[in-house]
A = this chain, B = another copy of it.
């Protein structure tokens, strides 16, 4: 990961942390709605889908502004109202009034740093979840999805259009699909299942990055890698923070004390619950893998040090005696018989050669010299 990219990642991380911490400051004066998020809110765009069990019972309406008088007399038995963008507070208030939403629900919809949760209100369930994705720097980011689940209606609120639910909308248009037959409670399951699937996708990408990083570490140590290990750890922690409460949400829905879900749908929710458990295990496995990366990094760092130390020691041991010998025969004593021998010089050179090679061979045979 290039330095530039890492810095950007880090900046993104900090922006999110701040948004997360600021998120509940608006908690003071209930009633005064205000958007809280890491970025500015997008313009509001609503889609209303009404459908029944019969083939043609389907009506889709898009609009940007809700008229005051509109009272949602639905054409068909079930309807799903989806909002992209949370800029238009007036419209939100209108919807809140129409569906008798509690002020705290509207507040939580606007406060986009919620922890996933499910809350029972008279006549509806309020669910928040987080849609995970990797931003352009490979960092885990998330968007809030809020769901209001009534007896035969479903309201969803998203920060921005992501295309995640396009397939579901397509399925709804098909009169034969299970979605049409099973009603809004099954639709809730389908949306949650999509959200769970996004975790699989994000986790897979992180898993690949862990593998790549392991290869990079083994090939060539680099202090940036240690930072990326920490970065991956933070990403996995962010996923964990989204997953644990999501599991609880689905668990609560599956038990369904408030009786919003049909028995059949509850079986599907149990399946989604199993998937979150499996995801949690994968997150834990990756967390251990990342810990292992750190251990490998530190062991290799120490290994490098050992190799250098060995090289230094070997060189010092080989050259110290040779230099001493040269120094001895460089002394200026008057009576040094060897100096006058005919082959003295060559003998000393030979001695040095033998000594040097001997020590070299000694260390080589002990495999001390292999990494220079």
Contact = CB atoms under 8 A, between A and B. Distances in A.
A87 interface: no
Majority secondary structure, A binding face: helix
A255 to B, nearest CB: 15
Contacts of A315: 313, 316-317, 320
A301 B306 contact: yes
A56 interface: no
Interface residues of A, number: 115
A294 B309 CA distance: 22
A67 to B, nearest CB: 29
Interface stretch (A23-31, A78-86, A130-138, A145-153): A23-31
B333 A275 contact: no
A335 interface: yes
Interface in A295-346: 295-306, 308-313, 315-324, 326-336, 338-345
Contacts of A281: 115, 241
A119 B29 CA distance: 27
B335 A330 contact: no
Given A28-B193, A330-B330, A320 B317 contact: no
A9 interface: no
A304 B306 contact: yes
Contact of A237 (B29, B193, B288, B305): B288
The residue among A119, A300, A335 with the most chain B CB atoms within 10 A of its own CB is: A335
Contacts of A334: 339-340, 344
A22 interface: yes
B233 A288 contact: yes
A69 interface: no
Interface in A200-251: 200-201, 203-204, 207, 211, 214, 218, 223, 226-227, 229-230, 233-234, 237, 241
A333 B344 contact: yes
Which of A196, A294, A331 has most B Cβ within 10 Å? A331
Nearest to A31: B178
Interface in A22-58: 22-25, 27-31
B329 A332 contact: yes
Contacts of A322: 324, 327
Contacts of A296: 226-227, 230
5 contacts: A302-B302, A323-B323, A333-B344, A333-B345, A334-B344
